[in-house]
Chain A
Amino acid sequence: MKSIKHILVLASIIILAASCSEDDPIVVNEEELITTVTVTLTPQGGGDIITLKSIDLDGDGPNEPEISVSGNLSANTIYSGVTAVLNETENPAENITEEVKEEGVDHQFFYAFKNSLASTSYSDTDENGDPIGIEFKLTTTSAGSEVLTVTLIHEPNKNGDNVVEGDSTNANGETDAEVSFPFTIQ
């Protein structure tokens, strides 16, 4: 019975020693998290720069993204567009667009319009000469209300039908970010 005692004493020492670690764990802020998608549209003929912005600071948390559009677009206008993706839970904010650019072959932005009152064409290319979509041209036609959905797809199949033209139907891959911006063309 002596051995039981010894073992019990030993066990309680182990338990006490192990449970005395009172250090707080290290906080994890998601690194690849995209909190913010910003689309900046500069009219080619001059005029107001329009900014479309979606922020979701709690990432995968329950809060819905906050979406803002700085103003109305003009009909029959060509805009130079630049899309940026950021992680604003980091301080300073992490610019994920850089990573997307570096791994351009594995990423592509898609721009889809609900009511076909506008269209986009890509202005940049990856190593293979396929579009990435960070830079693009947006052309509006007639006036009306419109919804632009910006999707960033990771590992798209850029050889899929119409994918390089900006149609995500055959792109497969995984969605890294997806935001819809309602706006008005006047």
Chain B
Amino acid sequence: MIKLLCKSVLAICITTSSLAQNCQISFKGKITDFHDSTPIIGASLKIENSNKYAVTDFNGLFEFKNLCKGKITIEIEHISCETKKITVNLNENTFKEITLEHHIEDLKEVIVTSSHNVTSKTVQTTNIDHNTIEQYSGKNLGDILKNVAGVSSINTGNSIVKPVINGLHSSRIIVMTNGVRLQDQEWGIEHAPNIDINNADNITVVKGANSLEFGGDAIGGVIVLEPAKYVLKDSVFGKTILGLQSNGRGGNLHSSITKTTKKGWFLNAKTTLKRFGDFNTPNYTLTNTGLDSKAFSFQTGLKEFEQGFTVDYSFVNNNIGILRASHIGNLDDLVSAINNKEPLIIEDFSYDINEPKQEINHHIFKVDYYKRFQDLGKLDIQYDFQKNQRYEYDIRVGDDKDKAAIDLDLTTHSINSTFDFNNNLDQTYKVGIKGVYQNNFANPLTGVRRLIPDYDKIDAGIFALGNFVLNEKTTVNIGLRYDYNYINAKKFYLKSRWEERGYDEKFGNLITGDYRTQWLVNPIFSFHNVSTSAGIVYQFNDKNAVLFNYGLSNRAPNASELFSDGLHHSASRIELGDLDLQQEVSNRISSTYNFQSNNSTISAEVFFNKIHNFIYLEPTGTEQTIRGAFPVWEYKATNANLFGFDVTWQQKISDAFVYSNKSSLTFGNDAKNNKSLIDIPAPSFKNSLEYRNKKWHQLGVRLESELILKQNNYPDNNFTVYLPQQDTYALVDISSTPPNYHLLHIHTDAVFHLSKKTDVQISASIKNLLNTNYRDYLNRLRYYADDLGRNYNLQLKINY
């Protein structure tokens, strides 16, 4: 499908004398590069409806002789350029300078949102290509990202999967989808990114805060999902993926269709449906873990070299059941859940999604426009609108039975503009500004006190980046960014809580209303954040390269960290924010060694991240309420040190066999209290052996082994509690980590060509081949149930 946009034309210069006698005019000209005005050598010119040709010389000059008076149309072609037609009215001898759109970035393909491609070589990046994305068509963003060494996930069951980069997650990770920074209440552990990965053609993971273009607060990293790049030609194409899974007895269907034109117009529509019933472990059904997901997107625009625009709309609707047995009342129930080897509620398989459950709608609307300026660079302007509606349904009684317990509506408007000074590829600069207005509305009709209050938020950012190619071996990248965050919240506090937190002394002036048992307060906070990044890559030779980088980043506390207060029913715990929290400041240094030869690719990464005011949520004790005792989890700040190693190694054993290894080790230490940090991913080692027969339908067979060790470094937050029903004191072990586990997976695929334009890829895989029982430390439901058992997958992909 992909081919060069511009044909190469042999440099044959033919001049023929005209038959007409009054045709003595000469037309000379010069063809130069649009960007830097350098002459373009070897461009061929042809006068339409004639056999006159010319080719530019070393100075970009050409000449036509013996032309007649009147209008002529000249077609200009050059390798790696778009064919251009110009019309000239000839009355006398004429000289004309013509610019051609010749640019290295666009050599191969025209990129729809070219402003967002992650190009810097000096940061730790890993790409996931569309083949892998297609394999994960029925899965989540968090699942697919685990293919990157150093990326793990924090889960609530198996359908709510949040990516963790080098031990950091939630608000410390920016997710960019199609140029839009996702704003979907990413603060909570049970709030997974609302993205249909099928919309992406390429996913890039940037570790650390070194891509300042996207934001200064990505202490953990940035995940960039980019749509497919279109070729300028008249074409209609599409694909359909149908997947079936035994575990969950469901499947997924994705279909997309795209129309492109030679002139640069494009139109595409995609839809994805997923439906699963209760999943199961090797021994029992995970009752109420079904999933119903629908996604739709539509994109159109014009992509020319000099200018273009896109209009984009996407919608995701997720209905996710949460393990019934994970809904517990008070500490008695938690203790009996932890002490029970099996979940307390196991029912027969069902497709029903009952309470507790989540329903999320996410809309993104985006328009962007770009224009290239000759000798200067490229301007990008973008506006995007996002609406995220989140409903969490709890098991409730009486009239409230079908009412959501959490009903949040987050609306975000962003506008940003960047200018890329890229006429000199050895020295490029990018500057940009961004403005965001966000409103959160917490619906009072839930009848449950708001965990997250109503707020207005304004963010404004400005950045400048420079990329310098010092010589063939060395590239340096530096960046600077400033962000201003303003948050204006209206929040009800129980008077008793307000006093217990000591807010009456510190924040007494924030009170604006008295509602019997509650105060209405109006906290207004603003934060100034400065971020910098610097990186250098040194290429020793074609095989060895090393890169170093440093990033300073700041992240203002989010609404959840500041304002949480009360019983979070779905987590059965009291969560308390802290109005005193300051922004996190991260200093991260990292280094990567890359080796690439014909048979081996090795990438060894190391990082050290020192985070001042690191905000974390940890159990601190229990509180007695009329419902019994509940564990209290408080947001606290400390100074944290994170460090780790990630290795990715691919070794070609023979033409048919490839071995690969991905290993990562992450350590997190609370420097203030001299203990381990909570929720740090356990050491992980993934090995795979792949056989591929390129001659026979590209048959591939891959055996994968996944070994996750027990996390031995965890803080001891256990506490004892009095159980009145049993009249005993019990130790609540919420800290201990699950033992090692080892899983085997097998995957096989083959491609069959049905016709010239249609091919079918069939793949079959078995996850957890040995039906191993296991629990994962970073699954919040590990207290209640095992993880998934064996899962047979069958997938059919048709390209047309």
In-complex Cβ contact of A24 among B490, B517, B624 (8 A): B490
CB contacts (< 8 Å) of B624 on chain A: these are 64-65
Write the nearest CB–CB distance from B158 to chain A, whole angstroms. Answer: 23
Q: Is the CB of A174 within 8 A of B333?
A: yes
Chain B residue, CB-CB nearest to A180 = B724
A113 to chain B minimum Cβ distance, whole angstroms, is 9
Bound Cα distance A8, B623 (Å) = 50
Residue numbers in A under 8 Å from B383 (CB-CB): 7, 11
Q: Within the assembled complex, what's the spacing in Å between the Cα atoms of A161 and B398?
A: 27
The answer to whether A112 has its CB under 8 Å from any CB of chain B is: yes
B496 in contact with A61 (CB, 8 Å): yes
Nearest residue (CB) in A for B340 is: A172
Q: In the complex where A24-B520, A168-B725 touch, is A61 in contact with B492 (Cβ < 8 A)?
A: no
- How many contacts A-B (CB < 8 Å)? 162
User: What 0/1 pattern do residues 143 to 167 of A give for CB contact below 8 A with B?
Assistant: 0000101010111000000000000
User: Which listed residue, A31, A89, A155, touches B395 by the CB 8 Å rule?
Assistant: A155
Q: Is the CB of B497 within 8 A of A149?
A: no
Question: Is B619's CB within 8 Å of the partner chain A?
Answer: no
B397 lies within 8 A of A106 (CB): yes
Query: Are B623 and A62 interface neighbours, CB within 8 A?
Result: yes
Task: For the complex, give the distance between the alpha carbons of A59 and B727 in Å.
Answer: 23
Contact B497 A61 (CB under 8 A): yes
Whether A19 and B625, one on each chain, are in contact in the complex, defined by CB atoms closer than 8 angstroms, is no
Question: Chain B 204-248, CB within 8 Å of chain A: the 1/0 string?
Answer: 000000000000000000000000000000000000000000000
Interface size class of A (residues with CB under 8 A): 35 or more
Contact partners of A19 in chain B: CB under 8 A: 437, 456, 458, 488
> Interface readout for A101-136 with B: 1 if CB under 8 Å, 0 if not?
011001000101010000000000000000000000
Residues of B within 8 A of A31 (CB): 400, 447-448
Which residues on the B side are within 8 Å of A74 (C-beta)?
none
A62 to B630, CA, bound (A): 11
Contact, CB under 8 Å: A99 / B626: no
Chain A residue with Cβ nearest B371: A3
The segment from B71-79, B438-446, B592-600, B686-694 that touches chain A is B438-446
A103 near B398 (CB under 8 angstroms)?
Answer: yes
Closest to A153 in B: B329
Are A3 and B381 neighbours in the complex by a CB distance under 8 Å? yes
Contact between B626 and A110 (Cβ–Cβ < 8 Å)? no
* One of A32-40, A43-51, A76-84 at the interface: A32-40
Q: How far is the CA of A2 from the CA of B314 in the complex (A)?
A: 29
Separation in Å of the A35 CB from the closest CB of chain B?
A: 6
- Asked if A92 is at the interface (CB within 8 A of a chain B CB), the reply is no
Q: A24-B490, A63-B496 are in contact. Are A8 and B415 (CB under 8 A)?
A: yes
| Closest A residue to B442 using CB positions | A25
Using A15-B413, A106-B397 as known contacts, say yes or no to A34 and B725 having CB atoms under 8 A apart. Answer: no
Contacting residues of chain A (167-186) with chain B, CB-CB under 8 angstroms:
168, 172-180
Task: Bits for A5-32, please: 1 = Cβ < 8 Å to B, else 0.
Answer: 0011001001100110000111111111
Question: B385 — nearest CB in chain A belongs to which residue?
Answer: A14
Chain B, 511-568, CB within 8 A of any chain A CB: 512-513, 515-518, 520, 566-567
Contact A7 B381 (CB under 8 A): yes
Q: Are A26 and B332 in contact (CB under 8 A)?
A: no
Partner of A110, one of B442, B628, B725: B725
Q: In the complex, are the beta carbons of B398 and A32 less than 8 A apart?
A: yes
- B25 close to chain A: CB less than 8 A: no
* Least distance between B216 CB and chain A CB atoms (Å): 20
Q: Given A27-B518, A32-B398, A60 and B574 touching (CB < 8 A)?
A: yes
A112: which B residues are within 8 A, CB to CB?
724-725, 727
- A7-B381, A175-B332 as given contacts; A62 in contact with B500, CB under 8 Å: yes
Beta-carbon nearest neighbor of B401 in chain A: A103
Task: Identify B492's interface contact among A14, A28, A32, A37, CB under 8 A.
Answer: A28
With contact pairs A60-B625, A61-B496, A178-B628 given, residues A15 and B437 touching in the complex (Cβ less than 8 Å): yes
The reply to whether A34 and B627 contact each other, CB–CB distance below 8 Å, is: yes
Let me know if B495 is at the binding interface, CB within 8 A: yes
If A25-B454, A178-B725 touch, whether A65 touches B492 (CB-CB below 8 Å) is: no
With contact pairs A58-B494, A63-B496, A65-B626 given, residues A24 and B512 touching in the complex (Cβ less than 8 Å):
yes
Residue of B nearest to A63 (CB): B496
B328 contacts partner chain A, Cβ-Cβ < 8 Å: yes
Docked complex Cα distance between A153 and B330 (Å): 11
The yes or no answer to B369 lying at the interface (CB within 8 A) is yes
What is the minimal beta-carbon distance from A94 to any residue of chain B, in angstroms?
Answer: 10
Q: Which A residues are within 8 Å of any B CB, using their own CB? A: 3-4, 7-8, 11, 14-15, 18-19, 24-32, 34-37, 54, 56-65, 89, 99, 102-103, 106, 110, 112, 114, 147, 149, 151, 153-155, 168, 172-180
Return 25 A-B CB contacts under 8 Å, by A number.
Answer: A3-B381, A4-B381, A4-B417, A7-B383, A11-B383, A14-B413, A18-B413, A18-B439, A24-B513, A25-B442, A25-B453, A28-B449, A31-B400, A56-B625, A58-B496, A60-B627, A60-B630, A62-B496, A62-B497, A103-B398, A112-B725, A114-B727, A168-B725, A173-B329, A178-B724
Which 4 A-B pairs give the minimum distances between C-beta atoms? A175-B329, A174-B329, A31-B447, A178-B628
Residues of B within 8 A of A (CB): 327-330, 332-333, 344-345, 369, 381, 383, 395-398, 400, 413, 415, 417, 435, 437, 439, 442, 444, 446-450, 453-454, 456, 458, 488, 490, 492, 494-497, 500, 512-513, 515-518, 520, 566-567, 574, 623-628, 630, 724-725, 727
| Other A-B pairs, 5, CB within 8 Å; known A58-B496, A65-B626, A177-B627 | A3-B381, A30-B447, A57-B517, A151-B724, A178-B725
